[in-house]
């Protein structure tokens, strides 16, 4: 469904690459005026230009979602917002609990959980004010079951799942939906590389032998579908995995 004027703005966090960038492109194509946010301003500016050149509507705003003062200032620019896609976040490390780095755990909690909290809190009045707001929380299958070495990432993603569930309970009766999208194995340029501190060999192992992991576009398609349902339809939770993945730990690999 094409968005109504008051709910035409879609804010996407972490829009500089991967799922965030793909979602920005698809929401713009669906008729939204997309506000791209990320720390890497040069990237989102280039993407905004690309989207605009394709005849759609996009602007870029450099933002670190963990900086609450900056998030509040960003939110002041909007009277109404139709969609907020909380995509910023990611994984750091895959160490067992016994030896995991507490600093990595803290950073993951800050970006994934507090980042989502910051932007959602700051934009909630504008989302409500649109008369038809949608909050999307990109959690993960790591938010629903654990795996060895998942540690701090699994904990942070469980927290995001709880944030989505709790918010949905608390704002029922207001014109805002809360949609959680939980992807499994998605091959993007940066997710695994960031997780393993730039170690390409370790990053490649995550996808080794998997014929077709999900792509950023697959997930963006899922998000866009959920967001473009009629306003009274709330897709609470959508778990999406590649066919080759039956669970977090059961992945078919042809090696
Ligand atoms: C990414 C899924 O399996 O790497 O959110 O934790 S996994």
The pLDDT value given to residue 4: 86
Per the domain annotation, does 203 fall within a domain? Answer: no
Q: What angle, 0 to 180 degrees and rounded to 10, lies between the N-to-C axes of helices 18-29 and 41-53?
A: 30
Which residue owns the Cα nearest ligand 1 atom 6?
A: 142
The pLDDT value given to residue 6: 81
Print the domain residue range for 23.
5-184+214-250
The pLDDT value given to residue 148: 97
**Which atom from ligand 1 is nearest to the alpha carbon of 195?**
4
Alpha carbon distance 242, 117 (integer Å): 29
Per the domain annotation, does 204 fall within a domain? Answer: no
The pLDDT value given to residue 2: 75
Per the domain annotation, does 202 fall within a domain? Answer: no
Q: Which residues are catalytic?
A: 153
Per the domain annotation, does 192 fall within a domain? Answer: no
Domain at 29, CATH number: 3.40.50.720
Per the domain annotation, does 199 fall within a domain? Answer: no
Q: What is the longest distance spanned by two Cα atoms in the chain?
A: 53
The total of structural domains in the chain comes to 1
Q: Quote the tokens at residue 47.
A: 């993407």
Per the domain annotation, does 246 fall within a domain? Answer: yes
Q: Is the CB of 248 under 6 A from ligand 1?
A: yes
Residue 195, Cβ density class (10 Å: 0-12 exposed, 13-18 middle, ≥19 buried): buried
The pLDDT value given to residue 7: 80
Query: Distance from the CA of 187 to the center of ligand 1, in angstroms?
Result: 10
What is the 8-class DSSP label of residue 246? S
Query: Distance from the CA of 122 to the center of ligand 1, in angstroms?
Result: 27
The pLDDT value given to residue 3: 87
Pocket test for ligand 1, best of 151, 156, 184, 194 (most atoms within 8 A of CB): 184
Q: Is the CB of 112 under 6 A from ligand 1?
A: no
**Which atom from ligand 1 is nearest to the alpha carbon of 183?**
5
Calculate the dihedral angle through the C-alpha atoms of 90, 92, 94, 99, rounding to the nearest 10 degrees. Answer: -140
Write a three-state SS string for the chain. Answer: CCCCHHHCEEEEECCCCHHHHHHHHHHHHCCCEEEEEECCHHHHHHHHHHHHHCCCEEEEEECCCCCHHHHHHHHCCCCCCCEEEECCCCCCCCCCCCCCCHHHHHHHHHHHHHHHHHHHHHHHHHHHHCCCEEEEEECCHHHCCCCCCCHHHHHHHHHHHHHHHHHHHHCECECEEEEEEEECCECCCCHHHHHCCCCHHHHHHHHCCCCCCECHHHHHHHHHHHHCCCCCCCCCEEEECCCCECCCCCECCCC
**Per-residue confidence in pLDDT tens, the chain, 255 aa:** 678 888 899 999 999 999 999 999 999 999 999 999 999 999 999 999 999 999 999 999 999 999 999 999 999 999 999 999 999 999 999 999 999 999 999 999 999 999 999 999 999 999 999 999 999 999 999 999 999 999 899 999 999 999 999 999 999 999 999 999 999 999 999 999 999 999 999 999 999 999 999 999 999 999 999 999 999 999 999 999 999 999 999 999 998
Per the domain annotation, does 255 fall within a domain? Answer: no
104 close to 146: Cβ distance less than 8 angstroms = no
Alpha carbon distance 157, 151 (integer Å): 10
Which residue owns the Cα nearest ligand 1 atom 2?
A: 184
The pLDDT value given to residue 27: 98
Per the domain annotation, does 196 fall within a domain? Answer: no
Q: Is the CB of 141 under 6 A from ligand 1?
A: yes
Query: Distance from the CA of 56 to the center of ligand 1, in angstroms?
Result: 31
Q: Is the CB of 134 under 6 A from ligand 1?
A: no
Query: Distance from the CA of 141 to the center of ligand 1, in angstroms?
Result: 6
């Amino acid at each position: 469904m094409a968005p109504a004027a008051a709910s035409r703005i879609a804010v996407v966090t972490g829009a500089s690459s991967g799922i965030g960038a793909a979602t920005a492109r698809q929401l713009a194509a669906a008729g939204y005026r997309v506000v791209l946010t990320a720390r890497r301003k040069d990237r989102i500016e280039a993407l905004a230009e690309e989207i605009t050149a394709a005849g759609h509507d996009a602007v870029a705003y450099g933002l670190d979602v963990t900086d609450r003062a900056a998030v509040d200032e960003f939110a002041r620019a909007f009277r109404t917002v139709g969609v907020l896609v909380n995509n910023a976040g990611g994984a750091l490390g895959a160490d067992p609990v016994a030896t995991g780095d507490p600093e990595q755990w803290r950073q993951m909690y800050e970006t994934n959980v507090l980042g989502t909290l910051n932007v959602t809190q700051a934009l909630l009045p504008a989302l409500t004010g649109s008369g038809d707001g949608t909050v999307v929380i990109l959690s993960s299958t790591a938010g629903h079951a654990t795996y060895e070495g998942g540690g701090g990432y699994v904990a942070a993603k469980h927290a995001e799942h709880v944030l989505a569930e709790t918010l949905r309970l608390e704002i029922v009766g207001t014109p805002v939906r809360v949609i959680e999208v939980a992807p499994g194995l998605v091959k993007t340029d940066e997710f695994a590389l960031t997780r393993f501190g730039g170690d390409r060999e370790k990053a490649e192992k995550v996808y080794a032998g998997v014929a077709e992991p999900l792509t950023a576009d697959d997930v963006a398609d899922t998000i866009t579908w959920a967001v473009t349902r009629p306003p009274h339809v709330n897709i609470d939770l959508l778990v999406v995995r590649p066919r080759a993945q039956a669970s977090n730990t059961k992945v078919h690999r042809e090696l």
